[in-house]
Amino acid sequence: MSKLILTRHGQSVWNAENRFTGWVDVDLSEKGVEEAEKSGELIKKLNIKIDISYTSFLKRAIKTLTTILKKNKLDLKFNTAWQLNERHYGSLTGLNKDETKKKIGEEQFKKYRRSWDISPPPMSENSKYLSNFSPLNGSIPTGMTPFTESLKNTYERVIPFYEKEIKKNLSNSKNILVSAHGNSLRALCKFLFNISDEKINELEIPTGNPLVIEFENNLEIKKFFYLDKARKKNIIFNQ
């Protein structure tokens, strides 16, 4: 039996400012650092061996992962993958969410933020935010870097990576830790929990609260639970 632990990074500086972050490489806030440390403490209480760790190219997820690994006195070796990056918010990047909702209206705002297959307008090729992307993005294959994404687009890069890299290790009874982002984890949970296109907009992933998924040997899900019960969110399963 293997375990997959999914952790959204701790609160970032732009989370605290209520801004669309996407691929901008912002750091953790003070609260985010505390959430990462608590995640590490909660995982330590599981008293299990973490065999392999994965994270994105973004420092908020990397710092959350390294904090967890240090708390558990584990080797700081881990795997980074651009496929686990946050959803690219296109021209919404950097904008305040409340101000954007007032400007474009609640209905359009909800479509951009929570719909399955609607992308915001693309980021311009001369956007000032491009210089704030992770330097690791330079290794992304030519033509693969998006200028905007829907959740569906995010799913289309996350799931092939899961199938190719993570699933084989789960099949070998390895315990896997993934530190990633709200939307890359929503995409993965959509796949794992068989959530419909219509229901996925209801799934929220809290920052800094590890979600443990236990698998049977055939990779059927046996059970799942958040480690911080006070901050858990509902998990939609087969809906």
Catalytic residues, by residue number, are 9, 86
Closest CA to 5 of 59, 63, 69: 69
Backbone angles phi, psi at 4, to 5 degrees: -120, 120
Q: Contact 96/174 with Cβ under 8 angstroms?
A: no
Q: Where are the alpha helices (DSSP H) in the chain?
A: 13-16, 30-46, 59-71, 97-104, 106-114, 151-161, 167-171, 182-192
Q: Which residues of 171-182 are buried (b: 16+ CB within 10 A; e: fewer)?
A: eeebbbbbbbbb
